[in-house]
Amino acid sequence: MSSNSLSLEPTVWILLKGVLGRSSEYYVFVQKALAEKFVWRFEGTLLGTGGFGSVYCGTLNDGRKVAVKVFHVQLERALESLDTECEVLRNLRHRNLTKVISGCSNNDFKALVLELMPNGSLAKWLHSPSCFLDMKQRLNIMIDVACALHYLHNGYSTPVVHCDLKPSNVLLDQDMIAHVSNFGIAKLLNQEDGITHTATIATFGYVAPEYGLEGLVSTKCDVYSYGIMLMEVFTRTKPNDARFNGNSSLKDLVQSSMPNALYQIIDANLLQEDEEHFAEKLDCISFIMEIALNCSRESPRERSMQY
């Protein structure tokens, strides 16, 4: 499903009133196949924004909510991002990956229609004051993410590297099952050496050293990001938090707290000293942090991820 294959015929028009930041009514074509299957409306509810586009809510005629990812067509990198997502997702099928329903494309409007994740992103659940995840939920979510990575790295004919794994790119469905999303800068690897180069920069704090410094991309980059995510999920501390500078990092904080001071840095809402089975739960988090540190070693060869 490359973006070129999503050519449109003028069968249906959708009226967007200022949704895309236009001062006047803005009309777009919608893919004929989608129009024949569904009568749907673009609600205009903004779900999120990113460097290459914005995501809005839509509704299909059967009542299903969908997420419509609208790309900024004026940005060349946004169009490259669309091509990449189409190339990566066209043959991938896994319960822990966001499902693409269809797409729309012409000179003025390019979008992907995605399965809507009603519980939003993992980032929201970690850092919003009104949200809370217990230990079991956090562990299950990270197991889901690990399953998605295992499939991307080993379950497809060509290994896929996500390249931007972070909590805002992990979405939660109605059952709190995690789905890895946003493959706009993903890379398909050559089977021979399992490594490629890129000039695209991912999110600071989650990027593996060899990726950030040299543009070297391999599956070990995702493993590194996964380790950082594990730390963030159980400490509720972002790796790009203002407290960290060039001489310190979230990884340093976790490493220096192991094992005796770990309780002091984990999410205060997650574990209380007076609760039942406190020691066992702390041991469990300690083991998880050991996995996180192994995943985020400086050398790619030393990183291990027990899927």
E strands, the chain, are 13-17, 25-29, 41-49, 53-59, 65-71, 100-105, 110-115, 160-161, 170-172, 178-180, 187-188, 196-197, 216-217
Residue 69 is labelled as binding a ligand:
yes
Give residue 75's pLDDT.
Answer: 67
Write down the catalytic residue from 83, 144, 164, 274.
164
Please say if 164 is a catalytic residue: yes
**How confident is the model over 141-155, as pLDDT tens digits?**
999 999 999 999 999
Going along the chain from its start, the domains and CATH numbers come out as 3-115 (3.30.200.20), 122-302 (1.10.510.10)
**How confident is the model over 197-229, as pLDDT tens digits?**
777 777 889 999 998 888 899 999 999 999 999
Q: Is the pLDDT of residue 276 over 50?
A: yes
Rounded distance between C-alpha atoms, residue 217 and residue 195, angstroms: 6
Assign 304 a pLDDT band (cuts: 50, 70, 90): confident
**How confident is the model over 99-154, as pLDDT tens digits?**
888 777 766 677 788 899 999 999 999 999 999 999 999 999 999 999 999 999 99
- pTM, two decimals, is 0.83
**How confident is the model over 8-48, as pLDDT tens digits?**
333 233 333 333 444 333 334 333 434 444 445 555 577 88
- Tokens representing residue 131 in the block: 């949200």
Give residue 264's pLDDT.
Answer: 95
Q: Which residues of 7-28 are buried (b: 16+ CB within 10 A; e: fewer)?
A: ebeeebebebeebbeeeeebeb
Q: Is the pLDDT of residue 81 over 60?
A: yes
Determine contact, residues 220/196, Cβ cutoff 8 Å. no
Q: Is the pLDDT of residue 60 over 90?
A: no
Q: Is the pLDDT of residue 85 over 50?
A: yes
